[in-house]
Structure 1
Amino acid sequence: MLQHYFKVALRNLTRNKVFSIINILGLAVGMGVCLLIYQYIHFELSFDDFHENGEGTYRIVQSYTQYGNDEGSDVETTYLTGPVAKNEIPEIADFVRVHSQYGVTVIANTETGVPFEEEEILYTDSNFLEMFNFPLKSGNPSSVFKDKYSIVISERTAIKHFGNEDPIGKVLNVNGGWAIADFSVTGVLAELPGNSHLQFDVLMPMSILLEDEQYTGDGGEDWTNFVTYVKLTDFSDRIAVEKKIAQSITTLRSEPLISGNYEVEVSLQPLDEIHLGSSEIGDPITKNVGDLDNIKTYSIIAIFILLVAWVNYINLSSARSMQRATEVGIRKSIGAFRRQVISQFLVEAALTNGLSMILGFGIAYMLLPFLNELMGLSLILDVATQYQFWIIVALTLIIGTVLSGAYPAFILSSFNAVGMFMRGPVKRKGFSLRKGLVVFQFVTSILLIAGTYLIYNQVSHMKNSENNMDMDQVLVVRGPRVGIDWDQMQPKLETFYNKLKSHHSILKTTGSGSIPGKGFDWRTGIHRVGQSEEEAESTSIVFVDHYFTDTYQLELLAGSPFLEEGSFRSGVLINEAALNAYDIKSADDAIEEKLVLNGDTLKILGVVKNYPWASLKEKHEPFILGLYGSAMTYFSLRINPANIQKTLAHVEQVYRQIFPGNPYSYFFLDESFNRQYQADLRFGNLFAAFSGLAIFIACLGLFALVSFSATLRMKEIGIRKVLGAGIGHLMGLLSKEYMILLLIANVVSVPITYYIGSSWLDNYAFRTELSIEFFLIPGIILLAISLLTVSYQTFATAKANPVDALRSE
């Protein structure tokens, strides 16, 4: 019988080619998209699982409260946290510390002298490559840091500095940060896995960093800028270890914690949870932080796309079921049991789903490069070797077969055999399941269109918001790192600025320790004179020269900009957000007020309007601009874009003349700042792509339903045409049912759209509004798409010769 079922199923597929193609294509696209989403989700969930000894490895996360208020969490510990914890806590088998090289460092091959800027540099303990299984192309993991002047570099860094030569034993000169010396290359890393939360090009020994006077002097143990990983012994009680580490930290840093009235709690974050668990904590190390909410969103989209495809199958099968009433009647009249009729339809559904799955693999393979380009990844379809994948495939086929085949099977098998021989299709009144499923498809499509529209609106809102800082036509040049003589730096900077401004296209210049979108120089607790220490607010500080406010065209609400002969201690500028933080009533009241920073008293010179130093996803926070004449991590140049190439050539010439031996690089501030929204844009692009595919699948089903409906009404249409009905009237007659369903879907989708849109916008401090077009435009777009889909078939039907339809009469 099973062989017979398959034979009949194949005959039905080939006899009704158009409907079979639509069913299989719709399901194949749905399954292919789901496969792509599964591949992406699997990649996101696979972070750091390549470490062979990763189980039992944790990162220390600290959560602070001050005066009962939650002060957030971060992963930055002191350099003593790891060693002290290991000595005091027997459950800790080992530890590793990691410290970022903040900013850019210049590294040059000592033989060629050619300098390159390197940003991805980490200082690590000597056992780093033993605790973590990063692949070494050359070198021994246990001995690469035996000498404190050893350096490990990535393969691409080796090619950049040494070409095709063997880099082992070669010497690199490092100039920047805590290391200004020659280092011998002792290891070359193979390409780092893309699913690692740590991404770096250079590893340097921690011992070099710890020799700096910052850590050897008084209070060195209070610098909290190390990330500490611990390896627990087998069967350790993680919660008990967390409490012991918290007690160890409290003892180690008792003075600053007690003086600031801080309480600290420790949690141990498993290695494989870092990628998706770092968005809510301070983390200077993790690259490409994942978003669990996005993964949930993609999962829901995948499910809905597959449901839309299955709904197509159910609708077409149930709509065509009456055509097969005679077949089922004959089967039942010669003795077929109901379960056998059901089995026949389930086999057909299984065959359709199976063919769709095979085609879906091909579609996924073709769409994978598109996904990689959208997400900036290099994914490959490697899930076929995983047993979990085949379990999901099997469940998808089973669920798809039951969902898409059960309804028509049970409907037809329930009819009386005699009734099935009656002439004409059985008509059902009211709101049928088929209509309900069409509404479901429409609602899903509207939600996806609305989501795409909202994402792009929000990103556009953030990029184009009035931000009180003019970033247009600002060219940023990285400051020098090599050959710095601090005693001569100030006159050299003035010479540099004057030579730059000698070109007519360069209007203003300034130097600063950081720029918008690139973080800040310092963050610490500050309070106003008259406030208690417990009222201190965490405040960001950026060092600038006295040209900064003019170059960036900051608007002063009160006070005056910096004087040329001033210094950091002679006065600072604050933003509006700092007024509330320091309990100052107005900008005018702030002038001549004083702030306390680490015991120093700073006068407020002026108040500037709030401006974004980071993404507009975050609210404005207290910010201070402090004067530092030799601030030169970045040079910002306001230019006239009339002849950009000549301007760039002049800037490079002057830079190389004033700062010889330093690599020259530049970028435009607005482009750099807007890269903060790259993740949102990628999310929007992927959301739009998946939405388009879901709508395509829905339109396939709508086209097939309209075609079938028109086929059933050919004689009616023929009679109406004979009696004088026009093409427009007939098109309206055939389209009316689906337009009513679309109207119902629009009404149903409004509260759902509002709830989901409002919830998503709650993640943004500066958000667009849910105006009326947010609810109208998705419906109008879907209406246009639906009309195009329906009109093609209804027009063809209405144009048909009525004689052909009535010939059999």
Structure 2
Amino acid sequence: MFKNYLKTASRYLLKNKGYTFINVFGLSIGLAAFILLSLFVKVEFSYDEHLSQKDRIFQVYVKDTTNNIPAFEMQTMGPMGPLMVEQVPEIMASTRFGTMQKKVLKMNNQRFLVDGVRYTDPETLDFFDVQPALGSSNLKLGKSDILLSESEALKVYGSVQAAIGETIEIVELGSFQISGVFRDLPDNTHVDFDYLISFENANDAFFSGVNFAMKKTVFDWGVVSAFPLYVKLSEANLDLTAIEAKMNTALEPHLSNRVTKLLPVDEIYFSDLSHGYFGRNGEKDKAQLYLIIALVILGVAIINYMNLATARYSKRSREVGIRKTVGGHKTQLARQFLTESFIITFIGLVFAICLVELCSPVLSNFVGKSVGVDYGALESYVILSSIVVGVSFLAGIYPASFLSRFSAIEVLSGRATSGKKGAKFRAALVGFQVFICLGLISVTMIVLQQFNHMSNLDLGFDHDQIVGVSLADKGVAENYETFKNELSRNASIESVTGASFSVFDGSASLYMEPEGLEEPVPITFMNVETSFVERLGLTIKEGDDFSSEGELNRKGIIINETAQEEFGWDTPIGKTIGGYKVIGQVEDFIYGSARETIKPLMIVPSKSGFTYAYVKISGGNVRAAMNHLQATFESMASDYPFDYNFLDDVFAKKYEQEEKLSRVFSTFTILAIIVAGLGILGLSIFIAESRIKEVGIRKILGANIGQLIWLLNSGITKLILLVALITLPLVYHFMSEWLDGFVYNISISVFTMLTPLIALIAVVWTILIFQSLKSANANPVNALRTE
């Protein structure tokens, strides 16, 4: 019986090639988008699920219950981990992390600038299932040991065996022996490290490169809070609230007014608390949004099939009537139509897999993660088979039940398909497609406008052709004046000024007491060269910059507008902040991130201690200026390589997520429009064919081409306008809430809301006009011939 269904369905689909193509192409795009985005979402939600002890491992967060620090922080003090193991019976082990950023490592007679060297406890190897690479013995982490990832060992030494026992010098810290090589961490874990040394080196590592001595170390209470802390419980499913209470009690003698929070390790990746310490943090709402987009596009493709199928099956009423007359049962007819749905879905899946293979490398590169179908896993085939069965059932169940439920007399007389019920259902399906397309177009337009607004934001200072050069190398930092003078000799370099921070990545906050306030408040603190305000083009609103001070006055500072407003000063000039006297005020400028509000800022002049030099390049010969800059740096540097960034690039990198979001919306909006457009094209052909006699009669009675085109297309145009009354207010509401998450955002105008509607109507009419013209220009005599 199934063979007969298959043969009949194949003949029908081959006979109606246009109908088959529209459905197969639409389903293949929908399925490909669904599979690709589902694979990405699967990766996102799999973070740290592989850890063998994930039910017992938690990250510790600490909050100051006073008003000074209202949020939970991941950074803890060095002695906290051992204290918890000692004082809380349920905690059997702990591990801490610290990071040395952008350190030079001398190994294998070469120098490498490494983004992050982590110092940690040996328990990390157990917590995160770190395994020795093939060719490496058991891993150990003593004070003089260093562990490498397999990929780094292969890159530097050529093999795992060649790396074992070699010595690595970490500039400004010391020499370490490679005691082992571990397998590369999987992509779906929130931790990230390629170099590990013992936490016993934490004090030297934390203060490496500083020019002052500390009486206490990071292993003492009250020195520094900088280390993420993880604990392992004695067993799973313990009462976390009770454990946190015991931790609070243990912490009270050392840090008062503190409360702790335990976060399961497999929830860290999506948690707002983690702040991406290891550079790996996800956004759960965006991952869910991508899955919704995938389901929407697949839904549009399924609706296309249902719409066209019910329309086409209406033309097959005689076939259905004859089948029923000769004894065909409702179930048999339903199976016939479901078989056709299965064939189309299966062919669509084959093409979808081809599209997935073509597009998965692009998506992997775009999201920075490996995304693809694992053809070696049985699970993949089960899921793909389930997709075929599920989609073919969803797409075919309504058409199958639509005609099979009527009696033979109803079908053969035309009463089953000539009523308004089928037309209303098709109108509802088309309305849903319009709702999706109009919503996606509107959202995409707003996201693109917001991204462009952020990209072109007035930062409040001159950032064009300014290069930030790291002064981490002592040879350059200690001879800064010589370095600066040498650069100034080049005609393509306009100016050089130093600072103790990176504009968009640095700065620090200190609690200080502004004049007139009773309690200390956090103020961003920037040490800069006296020419900094002038060279970066900051606008002096009141008072003077440092250039008018003559001999450097280390107690004269400049503040921003926000500082004056928050301190409640009528005028800032002459006011004091913790012993510093305000001599000037600059207009607010954006530093750090434009996602956050500008905070009170004090700019303090200095002659030395700069970690960055900002070089302004003039004219169009950027290459010559950069070559001179690099040559000058390298002639003075003893250890560190030339490390620089254009300020424009650094700022743009801050908004990669918004750029990616805009690209995702743009891409899948286009796909949704293509899929919906195919359905509308197929439906327009059906409408034109089903109304061919009406068009012929109207032409004979004197209707012109314009009237006939409007007759055929007015229904869907009115439907679009009706759906827009529902869609656009919803888009306005939800996107207004999304924009509220940005400090600097656009306003949604009437033009922004109407443009997507006009664009969609234009696209739909472009699709409809060809078939409409064909029908309107047809000879009415042919249309009125009896069959």
After superposition, residues 465-484 of structure 1 pair within 5 angstroms as 465-483=457-475
- Quick one: which amino acid aligns to residue 104 of structure 1? K
- Partners of 1:524 and 1:386 lie apart in 2 by 57
Match of 1:709 in 2: 687
The 3 A distance-change label for structure 1 pair 142 and 623 is farther
- 1:426, distance to aligned residue in structure 2 (A): 4.1
- Quick one: which amino acid aligns to residue 406 of structure 1? I
Match of 2:490 in 1: 503
* Alignment: residue pair count: 774
User: C-alpha root-mean-square deviation of aligned residues, in Å?
Assistant: 2.8
Q: Does 1:134 align with 2:133?
A: no
In the alignment, which of 559, 568, 573 is matched to residue 558 of structure 2?
Answer: 573
Match of 2:545 in 1: 561
Which of 699-708 and 791-800 deviates more? Answer: 791-800
- 1:368, distance to aligned residue in structure 2 (A): 1.0
Q: Residue 761 of structure 2: SS of its match in structure 1? A: helix
- Partners of 2:496 and 2:128 lie apart in 1 by 45
- Partners of 2:644 and 2:153 lie apart in 1 by 24
8 Å CA contact 1:275, 1:286 repeated in 2: no
Which of 17-26 and 353-362 deviates more? Answer: 353-362
Match of 1:123 in 2: 119
Q: Residue 22 of structure 1: SS of its match in structure 2? A: helix
8 Å CA contact 1:135, 1:192 repeated in 2: no
Structure 1 unaligned residues grouped into runs of 5+: 255-262
After superposition, residues 156-171 of structure 1 pair within 5 angstroms as 156-158=151-153, 161-162=156-157, 166-171=162-167
Deviations 1:577-614 (A, max 9, x none): 22233x2234xx22222223xxxx33333222221112
In the alignment, which of 101, 104, 127 is matched to residue 102 of structure 2?
Answer: 104
In the alignment, which of 201, 206, 214 is matched to residue 208 of structure 1?
Answer: 201
After superposition, residues 724-763 of structure 1 pair within 5 angstroms as 725-763=703-741
Q: Does 1:380 align with 2:380?
A: no
The 3 A distance-change label for structure 1 pair 163 and 418 is closer
Q: Does 1:265 align with 2:250?
A: no
- 1:170, distance to aligned residue in structure 2 (A): 2.0
8 Å CA contact 1:615, 1:677 repeated in 2: no
The 3 A distance-change label for structure 1 pair 138 and 356 is closer
Match of 2:6 in 1: 6
Match of 2:210 in 1: none
The 3 A distance-change label for structure 1 pair 352 and 528 is same
Q: Residue 221 of structure 2: SS of its match in structure 1? A: helix
Deviations 1:490-526 (A, max 9, x none): xx22222122111122112111222222132x22333
Q: Residue 134 of structure 1: SS of its match in structure 2? A: coil
The 3 A distance-change label for structure 1 pair 2 and 155 is closer
- Partners of 1:33 and 1:567 lie apart in 2 by 63
8 Å CA contact 2:403, 2:416 repeated in 1: no
After superposition, residues 212-361 of structure 1 pair within 5 angstroms as 214=214, 216-217=216-217, 220-222=220-222, 223-235=224-236, 236-254=238-256, 263-277=257-271, 280-281=272-273, 283=275, 285-361=277-353
TM-score, structure 1 as length reference: 0.89
Q: Residue 528 of structure 1: SS of its match in structure 2? A: coil
- Quick one: which amino acid aligns to residue 409 of structure 1? A
In the alignment, which of 400, 404, 410 is matched to residue 401 of structure 2?
Answer: 410
The 3 A distance-change label for structure 1 pair 160 and 726 is same
- Partners of 2:155 and 2:470 lie apart in 1 by 20
Deviations 1:299-343 (A, max 9, x none): 211221121111111111121232121222223333444344334
Structure 2 unaligned residues grouped into runs of 5+: 208-212
8 Å CA contact 2:203, 2:219 repeated in 1: no
8 Å CA contact 2:275, 2:281 repeated in 1: no
Match of 1:590 in 2: 572
Q: Residue 415 of structure 1: SS of its match in structure 2? A: coil
- Partners of 2:612 and 2:563 lie apart in 1 by 25
Match of 2:583 in 1: 605
The 3 A distance-change label for structure 1 pair 294 and 168 is same
- Partners of 1:137 and 1:217 lie apart in 2 by 35
Match of 2:141 in 1: 145
Q: Does 1:629 align with 2:607?
A: yes
The share of aligned pairs that are identical, in percent, is 29
- 1:294, distance to aligned residue in structure 2 (A): 0.2
8 Å CA contact 1:120, 1:199 repeated in 2: no
Match of 2:744 in 1: 766
Match of 2:59 in 1: 59
- 1:391, distance to aligned residue in structure 2 (A): 6.6
- 1:726, distance to aligned residue in structure 2 (A): 4.7
8 Å CA contact 2:575, 2:581 repeated in 1: yes
TM-score, structure 2 as length reference: 0.92
8 Å CA contact 1:480, 1:659 repeated in 2: no
- 1:6, distance to aligned residue in structure 2 (A): 3.4
- 1:545, distance to aligned residue in structure 2 (A): 1.8
The 3 A distance-change label for structure 1 pair 205 and 195 is same
Q: Residue 74 of structure 1: SS of its match in structure 2? A: coil
- Quick one: which amino acid aligns to residue 671 of structure 1? D
Match of 1:258 in 2: none
- Quick one: which amino acid aligns to residue 578 of structure 1? A
- 1:565, distance to aligned residue in structure 2 (A): 4.5
